[in-house]
Amino acid sequence: MRTHQLVLAWIERQLSDGALSVGGRLPAERALAEQLAVSRTSVREAIRILEAMGVVRAGVGSGPEAGTVVISDPTAALGSALRLHVATQHLPVSDIVETRILLETWAAARAKPDAPELELAATLLGEMDAVERVARTADDFLALDIRFHLALADAAGNAVVSAMMGSLRESIQGYTARFTANLPDWAATASRLQAEHRDILAAIRNDDGAHAATLVAAHIEGYYREGGVGPAAEE
Amino acid sequence: MRTHQLVLAWIERQLSDGALSVGGRLPAERALAEQLAVSRTSVREAIRILEAMGVVRAGVGSGPEAGTVVISDPTAALGSALRLHVATQHLPVSDIVETRILLETWAAARAKPDAPELELAATLLGEMDAVERVARTADDFLALDIRFHLALADAAGNAVVSAMMGSLRESIQGYTARFTANLPDWAATASRLQAEHRDILAAIRNDDGAHAATLVAAHIEGYYREGGVGPAAEE
DNA sequence: TAGTTGATGTGGTTGGACCACATGGTTTAC
DNA sequence: GTAAACCATGTGGTCCAACCACATCAACTA
């Protein structure tokens, strides 16, 4: 077994045992290296991997922001992994869109009408209206749009689905932004999207999960079809 | 931006541009370091991350197995990421099981009756029977069981769903094996599972996706409930 | 008292050295 | 001539020692 994997195993063990939990700090790199009788290089390689996995955050200097602390950001790991594999052309964008529809449809059907995340979703709806009125820039709108959809996914109360939703969205964000910039009439598209958003949120609040799911599927499919991407497109 | 991220960006760019694709080789670490005007350490940190993401494989020595070559194993990345986050206690096992049911149900409903992956699934069924007759060891059976379910997922023809299925299964494999070992009557459980497997495969081959989906959901839920884990359990 | 300064400890980066390993060409023994 | 032994080469794997940038906090100074 390679040395950095030994370090990884040690840290994972600490996490499983509860000796290390979210918010906790790893020993300093030099100290950990000495403790495990390995070089600092190997410790750093392990930490690099954990950082890429969204398990720790490393900060220089002193104080609360410094040191290597345990966090939990599964979305980061899944997102960059998916993005890289999309880059290798081995994960078709159409499959990602299809999966997104699957997960988000399920989330919409499952979300409870009184889920607190729906408040955030409603707020984001209002902000998107404001952005539309004032600036009419697609970028700002899309940033809010992403958060809206993530809020809906969160409302289903499944951390794995939430993380996957976020990562799917992140992995094709560049793709989405590119074709959005080329839409002929962004203002019209935006107002249509907003109307659909409102309908989805209303359906969930009416406890009509089946209807909400249908609306979500149509919403996402329609958007990507407009941009020429989708389950039907051949990448 | 940290140095290793620069290297990561360069490699990702090469992948996106097609200058590097699956099966291709990265320049040697020392050469790449010189080319990008960074230290070999930074190059290695980047490669470590890519390796953890299932994007490259590093091998020592000379010949075909040596050097750093581009592969594509999304399951590896998602799997270890999920496993680590389960270790941090921030991803409940019940959420993973629930997500697995969601994905596998969808795959069963979508799989085409003539999908080639179903042949593999049928073969695995036979092997599980053989294992049951001869050895009656749960470990061997479970290994085949995993491959059977993955084959079903692959039959749906969505690479993202396949990768996620594999990673979900991998991330809780330890969990599953642990409670399986404690089942009171493994032989009875195994033969029940086999009967259910057969029904699922038959439903798919009859093009009855809806029925197949129902059977899959019951199959998975039943198994984990027997072990005390599931969407209903509080972890 | 208020401001400056320096000591301390953190991760970030570098260059160099050596190891284990696998291949392939060269030399040697028969 | 053939087969075995050998060594040169190039790969990733590991370690070490040093230095940097940064953030904090205590000590010192005006």
Give bridge partners of residue B67 from the DSSP assignment: B59
Nearest-neighbour CA in chain B from A29: distance (Å): 15
Q: Is A178 on the interface with B (CB under 8 A)?
A: no
How far is Cα B84 from Cα A72, in angstroms, rounded to an integer? 9
CB nearest to B90's CB, from A4, A91, A159 = A159
Sequence letter at residue B35: Q
A2-6, A126-130, A202-206: range with lowest mean pLDDT: A126-130
Inter-chain CB proximity A48 and B50 less than 8 Å: no
Taking the CA atoms of chain A, what radius of gyration do you get in angstroms?
21
Residues of chain A with C-beta less than 8 angstroms from the C-beta of B102: 102-103, 106, 161
* Residue in B178, B39, B89, B215 with CA at minimum distance from that of residue A159: B89
Distance from CA of B230 to the nearest CA of A (A): 13
Q: For residue B28, give the nearest of B71, B51, B60 by alpha carbon.
A: B60
CA atom of B61 to C1′ atom of D8, Å: 14
The residue extents of the domains of chain A are: 3-70, 92-226
pTM, entire model: 0.91
Answer whether A160 sits within 8 Å of B96, measured CB to CB. Answer: yes
Asked if A107 has any chain B CB less than 8 Å from its own CB, the reply is no
Degrees to nearest 5, angle at CA A100 with A75 and A112: 85
Protein-covered nucleotides of chain C (CB closer than 7 Å) are: 8-17, 20-24
CATH class of the domain at A92-226: mainly alpha
Q: Is A39 on the interface with B (CB under 8 A)?
A: no
Coil/strand/helix, residue A59: strand
* Predicted local distance difference test score (pLDDT) of residue B228: 64
CATH 1.10.10.10 fits A3-70, yes or no: yes
Give the separation between CA A146 and CA A130, rounded to whole angstroms.
Answer: 16
ipTM of the complex: 0.91
Q: What pLDDT does B235 receive? A: 37
DSSP states of B33-58 as a string?
A: HHHHTS-HHHHHHHHHHHHHTTSEEE
CB spacing of B15 vs A84 below 8 angstroms: yes
Chain B residue at shortest CA distance from A87:
B16
**pLDDT per position in chain B (235 positions), as tens?**
999 999 999 999 999 999 999 999 999 999 999 999 999 999 999 999 999 999 999 999 999 999 999 999 999 999 999 999 999 999 999 999 999 999 999 999 999 999 999 999 999 999 999 887 876 578 889 999 999 999 999 999 999 999 999 999 888 888 888 888 888 888 889 999 999 999 999 999 999 999 999 999 999 999 888 876 544 443 3
Euclidean distance between CA atoms B185 and B226, whole angstroms: 11
